[in-house]
């Protein structure tokens, strides 16, 4: 396939340009900004800290709590501010995707708060949010099994593509969007969702593609973290 079928001229297995910035929120224990094309996600990690109300505390392990917020000006038509049903669902999806990475048994009765803000959305916000949160957790010095990468694969008609943007997601002929979160260190897929229709063959092709790209994203995160902290190795 030499000629691209994608509106922005990308190759089918080409992601949008990703950018990473660390420590964007000084008041948080750890924070990161992850940009994927026009999608921007900012994650801030607070804690581990005491969980209130106390009835929500878990006696032998900690809790990872996430708050996903799509800002009202992030989309072309103003979104009503405040947590919508979608925001609440995505908060849970992100928290579940991250919980298996963190050594929560080291923080009995504690909570780790992850705030994900989306100031600009162009599809793939949950993936950008998870990437930002992975960086922010590492930046906060939280013990983890490894970093995680998240990217959406999918299909435009019968063509498997990676990292769909909003224009592709809204494609009239029917686009399928499949966000995948993968941790190379534990070799686990920690979240997998699918919106649309896809054949069995294309599903596995898309999954394989997404896993490969998620690996690339974790390598990128690793590089950014090492670059940011390389001053620390002088002694």
Partner 1 sequence: MSEEKTIQERKVVIPGETLATGMEYLPGHGTHRVNEEIRASWLGLSEYNGSVIKVIPLKGAYIPREGDRVIGVIADVSYSSWDVNVFGPANAMLGIGDASRSYIELGEDLTRYYDIGDYIYAEVSKVSKSMFIKINMKDKMFRKLNTGLTVKISPVKVPRIIGKKGSMVNLLKEETGCTFIVGQNGIVWIKGETRQQELLALKAIKYVENNAHMSGLTDTMKEKIKEWKQNE
- Contact call for residues 79 and 97 (beta carbons, < 8 A): no
Q: Is 172 exposed, middle or buried (0-12, 13-18, 19+ CB in 10 A)?
A: exposed
Nearest distance from C-beta of residue 141 to partner 1, angstroms: 3
Interacting residues of 65 by C-beta distance below 8 A, sequence separation 6+:
95, 111, 112, 113, 114
**Closer by beta carbon to partner 1, 38 or else 61:** 61
Of 12 and 188, the one with the shorter C-beta distance to partner 1 is 188
Residue 29 vs 39, nearer CB to partner 1? 29
Shortest CB 222 distance to partner 1, Å: 5
3-state secondary structure of 180: strand
- Residue among 89, 113, 115 nearest 102 (CA): 113
User: Taking the complex as a whole, how short is the minimal distance between the CB of residue 140 and partner 1, in angstroms?
Assistant: 6
Report yes or no: 214 and 184 within 8 Å, Cβ to Cβ.
yes
CB of 230 to partner 1, least distance (A): 6
Residue with tokens 């878990």: 58
In the bound complex, what is the minimum distance in angstroms from residue 132's beta carbon to partner 1?
15
Q: Any idea which residue has 């013990």 for tokens?
A: 143
Cβ 18 to partner 1 shortest distance, Å: 17
The residue among 123 and 131 lying less far from partner 1, judged by its C-beta, is: 131
Closer residue to partner 1 in complex, CB, 70/137: 137
Pairing of strands 188-192, 30-36: unpaired
Closer CB to partner 1, 201 or 223, in the complex = 223
| Site of interaction with partner 1 (CB under 8 A) | 29-30, 47-50, 59-60, 103, 107-110, 137-147, 183, 185-186, 221-222, 225-226, 229-235
C-alpha–C-alpha distance, residues 195 and 167, integer Å: 15
């Amino acid at each position: 396939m030499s000629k691209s079928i994608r509106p922005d001229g990308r190759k089918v297995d080409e992601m949008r340009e990703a950018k990473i910035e660390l420590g964007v929120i000084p008041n948080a224990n750890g924070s990161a900004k992850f940009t994927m094309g026009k999608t921007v996600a900012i994650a801030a990690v607070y804690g581990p800290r005491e969980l209130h109300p106390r009835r929500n505390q878990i006696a032998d392990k900690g809790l990872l709590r996430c708050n996903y917020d799509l800002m009202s000006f992030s989309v072309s038509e103003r979104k009503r501010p405040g947590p919508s049903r979608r925001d609440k669902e995505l908060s849970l999806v992100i928290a579940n995707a991250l919980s298996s990475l963190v050594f929560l048994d080291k923080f009995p009765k504690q909570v780790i708060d992850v705030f994900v803000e989306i100031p600009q959305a162009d599809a793939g916000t949950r993936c950008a949010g998870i990437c930002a949160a992975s960086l922010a957790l590492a930046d906060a010095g939280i013990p983890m099994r490894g970093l995680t990468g998240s990217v959406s694969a999918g299909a435009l008609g019968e063509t498997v593509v990676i990292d769909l943007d909003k224009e592709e997601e809204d494609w009239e002929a029917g686009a399928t969007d499949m966000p995948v979160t993968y941790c190379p260190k534990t070799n686990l897929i920690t979240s997998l969702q699918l919106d649309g229709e896809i054949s069995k063959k294309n599903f596995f092709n898309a999954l394989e593609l997404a896993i490969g790209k998620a690996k690339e994203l974790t390598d990128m995160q690793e590089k950014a973290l090492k670059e940011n902290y390389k001053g620390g190795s002088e002694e």
